[in-house]
Amino acid sequence: MGPKTSTDRSTFPFTPGSLAAQGYRMPAEWEPHDATWLSWPRRDGISFPGAYDEVLPALAAMVEALRESESVRINVESEKQEQEIRRILSRTDHVQFYRIPTNEPWCRDHGPIFVIREEKPRLAVVDWDYNAWGGKYPPFDLDEVVPTKVASYFNLPVFYPKLVMEGGSIDVNGAGTLLTTTSCLLNPNRNPDKSKEEIEQALRDYLGVRNILWLGDGIEGDDTDGHIDDITRFIDRTTVVTAVEENKNDPNHEPLAANLERLQGMRVEDGTPLKVVTLPMPPRVEKEGQRLPASYANFYIANKIVLLPVFNSPKDEQAVDVLRACFPTRRIVPLNCRELVWGLGAFHCLTQQQPAV
């Protein structure tokens, strides 16, 4: 991974560790959004081999469902791609297009992490280094600079922690507590020269958190080395939903049970015990002999709806019921992701929220 270019600079001076000191924090996903960002896949990309056309219905349904909730901002590589997308979508009155080319569509991981504060400028961008999940899928040069390019459209200040991290590897409650996994953030394919303490300090400095909760391993088929957004998610300041696998013969049973046990002893930033709600795992989903990381935990919380990946499974309705109880003021929108998860991700992996300020 090469260095940022000379144009990738913050619009005001800062020193390491000063972002949190300046009052910035990463808001929780359920806090009000100005928009949802997406990076549209390319037909010649590697995320959906031989199945690009098959994933378009799920992508179009996602954009249409967000119309009742908020604006959608889509990164595209060209005018030609924009026109192709317009033909796919039934309506685009809530959609804006930005000429920001990407290698792949996983905006949660390569997109900007927005942070907010009370004083002006109220909104800023954290641009973590990005290496496509430990260098697994080169090239990733276009994805690596997406956050700074997004910030340039809005004249936002940008901070550079000089740490490799993806957005799907963390989840926050907006009040000072962050969830992550040791299997991902401490993997030597990300930051081999950084200790756990140094990584924790960067999270505190740049996201405004002070309480970091570590889970263990992720689910089978997850090529991210265990992103938190496939296993455990905050739904309010003191409550998480966490995936569990009841089948003891399934490889996911043991790691998810271990994570559940950890969660039951954890507390949020003010010492309040964490409340834990369990969410089922869907039955095994495979394609071409490969287990795919199908998980109901990869939902996306928008202003008025929750996008829930479902898999044409008898457990789909159970997952809907769990999330309906978790989000009584939002409509749960279940959308079939059996084709989409061939790209090894679902709605949370595809989206990145821009907070309202």
Q: State residue 231 phi and psi, 5-degree precision.
A: -130, -45
Separation CA 150–CA 169 (nearest Å)? 21
The full DSSP string for 250-280 is STTHHHHHHHHHHHTT-B-TTSPBPEEEEEE
**Partners of residue 344 on adjacent β-strands:** none
Beta bridge partners of 126: 113, 159
- Amino acid identity, residue 224? T
Distance from C-alpha of 268 to C-alpha of 322, rounded to nearest angstrom = 22
Choosing from 107, 326, 337, 349, the catalytic residue is 349
Residue 227 contacts residue 181 (beta carbons within 8 Å): yes
Helical segments of 132-290, H only: 132-135, 141-144, 146-154, 182-185, 196-207, 253-263
How far apart are the two ends of the chain, measured CA to CA in Å? Answer: 33
DSSP lists the bridge partners of residue 333 as: 307
Cα angle 36, 29, 283; round to 5: 90
Instruction: Answer yes or no: 349 catalytic.
Output: yes
The catalytic site residues sit at: 349
